[in-house]
Amino acid sequence: MAKKRPPTKAKRPQLTDADIPVVGAREPCPCGSGRRYKACHGRAAAHALTELVQRPFEGLPGEGDWVALRELVPAATVELPLKDGLPAGVPSVTLATVLPMAWPALRRDDGSVLLGLQNDTASGDISRDLADTLVRALEADPGTPVQARRAPADGPRMQDLLDPEGAFEPVVHSGFEFWVPDPENAAPEVAASLERANAAAIPTVKLSGVDAAYWCETPDKNHLRWVMPYPEEQLLDALARLHAAGRAGLGEGTRLVGSFRAHGLTVPVWDLPSAVTADDVEKPAAEFAERLAVALASDAPLTADERRARGGLTNRQVTLS
């Protein structure tokens, strides 16, 4: 009777973590361990994808405007300069607040790219998700949209792709006609999406005299929402000093009503009378910026009135993201 030979184990190829591709959570891990992906190399990938980046636009030119276009502005576009220049066949790359049918990106027939900013993202890092979409849009066939997907955990971020010295100059639009070169001859589904989007758009204007401040018109009153780059605690102290001194307004009938947090920055909000236009608030906003700079520079302890004012501002603070 022949002797049984002990089974031999085939040597598995030695893969580094960087070589392990992303697969479904319940599929066998590509490393060959025999475990499911989610219980093996998927753990680190899942952590990287869900870990929230508090300031995803930090380090980009115009961080405040990135936040505003993501959270506040209905219709706007910005030309994006790439660090390595535009690839052959891509005449331009344009960031847009939103695209038809909520596409993450679109490669137009002429080869130009539109990148949507207000889409849902699969990870906790909006910058990485946007960069993954942009890379795929640059390689897409002209005339095709780019679909959403889970970005690789080690993929580039927008900070890696954009020219750090490039300007970030948003153009605010009254509607979404920028979606298509010829709106009157748009495809039916695009035309319907355009009509719905235009009907929901709130009239918005970017102030020219200060950074990242946006006036908007609503049925009952107008508002100014101003994305500010200062540390939150320091900014709230400064706003409290001005509020307690009666110097936090932007003119007669205006009122600082609170603030909200968005992507790691603080956004003070003022109520404005419905008759106050964006042009009307330009000079008061510039004057407020000067008062705020003085208040930010103070390190004196808050007075009792200032502490009460700060408590009121903090109680009315809302976190958007």
222-226 and 113-116 beta bridge pairing = unpaired
Please provide the distance, in angstroms rounded to a whole number, between the alpha carbons at the two ends of the chain: 73
Tell me what pLDDT residue 54 has.
94
Q: List the chain pLDDT tens, one digit each, 321 residues.
A: 444 545 444 444 455 554 566 656 667 888 888 887 667 766 655 554 557 899 999 999 999 999 999 999 999 999 999 999 999 999 999 999 999 889 999 999 999 999 999 998 888 999 999 999 999 999 999 999 999 998 998 999 999 999 999 999 999 999 999 988 887 777 888 788 888 889 989 999 999 999 999 999 998 899 999 999 999 999 999 999 999 999 999 999 999 999 999 999 999 999 999 999 999 999 999 999 999 999 999 999 999 999 999 999 999 888 876
- Residue 151 and residue 129: Cα distance in Å, rounded? 6
What is the full DSSP assignment across 219-278?
SS-EEEEE-B-S-HHHHHHHHHHHHHTT---SSTT-EEEEEEEETTEEEEEEEE-TT--H
b/e burial code for range 126-138 (CB count within 10 A of at least 16 → b): bbbbbbbbbbbbb
Residue 16 amino acid letter: T
Nearest to 269, CA basis, from 198, 195, 320: 320
pTM of the model: 0.83
What is the full DSSP assignment across 7-67?
PPPPPPP---GGG-----TTSBPTTSSSSBGGGTTHHHHHHHHHS--S-TTTTSTTHHHHH
